[in-house]
């Protein structure tokens, strides 16, 4: 087993430990409306302002390791609007950090090519997914940083994918690559040389190289958000950032070979066709702690020119969700956040338990149905509001980013205790891309609108339970 896969498997097991304590209180309709506790009593204590940008607990510090406009090793400029990230094991203890950029073709001030595209001619057209006829190239994609944890310095920085649009979140694979997702739906026209709304696979490599852009069209064309991979089956699960989005499953023809195609499906409830999981009304409300039998239905015309895949899927019986966002696979189960689901629209967290026969006909036998649980509805905004990106610390705590104008990074212990890790006091911008280094020494996160990537370090082992 290679190092990247070994780290991936270790993290997959950690996520379940982080939720063990929560299960004992998940039966409440209002899990997050428990008696308000002093968050500083747990975790690492109260947050204190280090400067005008960030609040952190005592003993913690951070460094800015990426800023939009920085000159990169490939001669281009680091783009703005950083979003989802994944951290992989590099050589000699280094970290390969792959970063999304949620830019469109008209986000000129966030461009890797500088003012008036002055560096555009440095890159061959075939390296772009969508060159925009040389006039409106799409400015999303991914950049890769090679970070030395020992010196806390970036040793190399380069673009690793070009010409995509609004690369939002994504997910790591067990075979050492990052799946980056376009949260944009566009068709070919006078400005776009290709359609948009796809996933792309980017290898985790230290070599300065732009990946030849091949869209994973079999995974569907829609407003993608995040993905996670079941290391046992190789099945890829996907969220969709729409107010009536679906949860998707992609079964590849060959495990680990996503470009060879596969089958796209959507989640449906066994007992209720076209289930609305959002809990926005009092009818057929999902109850936290209940495990509902679900199934998967095949989808047709998955590369349509109409942005209607979710609508057709719902009509055919799939369940709808309120803005699917972050997603992470644990030990035999996965978790995903829906940013504005729930009675107060502050968000929901779901847990999906795959069938023992996931992806086969046998999963549709009654005793083998997959299960979906509404794990929590955070109706107490002092604890958590608008959960977005999520990750898991190597020691088991679950860590969320908030998506609002004064966001925090929130941790949850195995005993179900909430605590604050950081607060953005400098910019009216969400945190994004939260992830730990493979060693667990560094927490990486972006402040999106400021175009900053931060590396947070401190006494992680001293967390108070």
Question: Distance (Å, rounded) from C-alpha 411 to C-alpha 128?
Answer: 38
CA distance 422 to 60: 10
Which pair of tokens denotes residue 452?
A: 């900053």
Measured CA to CA, the distance from residue 465 to residue 457 in angstroms comes to 19
CA quadruple 363, 366, 371, 374: dihedral sign: positive
pLDDT of residue 8: 42
DSSP 291-308: EEEEEEEE---TT-SSS-
Predicted pLDDT at 384: 67
Q: Residue 299 has what pLDDT?
A: 98
H-run or E-run covering 438: none
Q: Report the chain's terminal Cα–Cα distance, integer Å.
A: 33
Domain edges within the chain: 3-460
Mean pLDDT of each 10-residue bin along the chain, 465 residues long: 45 39 39 52 92 97 98 97 96 96 91 92 95 94 97 98 97 97 97 97 96 96 97 97 97 97 98 94 83 97 97 98 90 87 87 95 94 80 76 82 88 78 95 95 97 97 88
Query: Quick check: 368 and 307 in contact, CB under 8 A?
Result: no
Q: What is the pLDDT of residue 334?
A: 87
Domain spanning 3-460: CATH superfamily: TolB, C-terminal domain (2.120.10.30)
**Element (H or E) spanning 363, and its range?**
none
State the Cα–Cα distance between residues 72 and 208, nearest whole angstrom: 10
Residue 327 DSSP one-character state: E
pLDDT at 376: 74
Q: Which of 2, 432, 442 is nearest to 204 (CA)?
A: 2
pLDDT at position 397 is 79
pLDDT of residue 35: 37
CB 246 within 8 A of CB 320: yes
The answer to whether the beta carbons of residues 81 and 429 sit under 8 Å apart is no
HSE (CB half, 13 Å, CA atoms) of 32? Answer: 26
DSSP codes of every residue in 369-426: --EEEEEE----TTT-SSEEEEEE-TTS-EEEEE-SSS-EEEEE-TTS-EEEEEEE-S
Residue 57 has a pLDDT of 97
11 three-class SS:
helix
For residues 128 and 210, give the distance between their C-alpha atoms in angstroms, rounded to a whole number.
Answer: 9
Q: Would you say the C-alpha torsion 164, 170, 174, 176 has a positive or negative sign?
A: positive
- From the number of C-beta atoms within 10 Å of its C-beta (0-12, 13-18, 19+), residue 465 rates as exposed
């Amino acid at each position: 087993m290679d190092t990247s896969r070994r780290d991936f498997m270790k993290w997959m097991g950690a996520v379940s430990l982080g939720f063990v304590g929560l299960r004992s209180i998940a039966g409440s309709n209002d899990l997050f409306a428990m008696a308000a506790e002093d968050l500083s009593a747990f975790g690492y204590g109260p947050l204190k302002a280090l400067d005008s940008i960030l609040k952190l607990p005592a003993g913690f510090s951070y460094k800015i390791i990426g800023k939009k406009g920085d000159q990169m090793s490939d001669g281009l400029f680091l783009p703005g609007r950083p979003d989802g990230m994944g951290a992989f094991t590099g050589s000699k203890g280094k970290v390969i950090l792959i970063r999304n950029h949620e830019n469109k073709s008209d986000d000129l001030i966030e461009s890797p090519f500088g003012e008036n595209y002055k560096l555009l001619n440095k890159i061959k057209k075939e390296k772009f997914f969508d060159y925009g006829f040389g006039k409106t190239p799409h400015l999303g994609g991914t950049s890769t940083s090679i970070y030395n944890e020992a010196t806390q310095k970036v040793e190399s920085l380069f673009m690793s994918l070009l010409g995509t649009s609004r690369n939002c979140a994504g997910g790591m694979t067990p075979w050492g690559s990052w799946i980056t997702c376009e949260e944009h739906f566009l068709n070919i026209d006078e400005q776009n040389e290709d359609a948009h709304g796809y996933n792309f696979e980017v290898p985790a490599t230290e070599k300065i190289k732009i990946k030849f852009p091949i869209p994973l069209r079999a995974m569907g064309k829609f407003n993608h958000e995040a993905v996670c991979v079941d290391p046992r089956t190789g099945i890829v699960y996907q969220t969709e950032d729409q107010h009536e989005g679906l949860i998707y499953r992609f079964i590849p023809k060959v495990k680990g070979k996503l470009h060879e195609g596969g089958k796209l499906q959507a989640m449906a409830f066994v007992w209720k066709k076209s289930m609305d999981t959002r809990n926005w009304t009092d009818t057929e409300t999902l109850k936290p702690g209940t495990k509902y039998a679900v199934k998967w239905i095949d989808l047709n015309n998955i590369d349509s020119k109409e942005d209607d895949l979710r609508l057709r899927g719902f009509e055919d019986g799939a369940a709808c969700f309120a803005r699917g966002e972050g997603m992470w696979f644990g030990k035999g189960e996965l978790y995903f956040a829906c940013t504005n689901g729930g009675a107060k629209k502050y968000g929901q967290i779901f847990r999906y338990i795959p069938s023992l026969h996931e992806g086969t006909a046998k999963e549709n036998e009654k005793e083998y149905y997959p299960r979906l649980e509404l794990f929590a509805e955070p109706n107490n905004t002092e604890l958590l509001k608008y959960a977005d990106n999520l990750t898991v610390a190597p020691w088991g705590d679950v860590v969320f980013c908030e998506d609002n104008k004064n966001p925090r990074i929130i941790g949850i212990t195995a005993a179900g205790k909430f605590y604050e890790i950081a607060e953005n006091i400098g910019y009216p911008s969400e945190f994004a891309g939260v992830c730990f280094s493979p060693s667990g020494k560094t927490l990486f996160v972006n402040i999106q609108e400021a175009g900053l990537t931060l590396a947070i370090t401190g006494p992680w082992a001293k967390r108070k339970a």
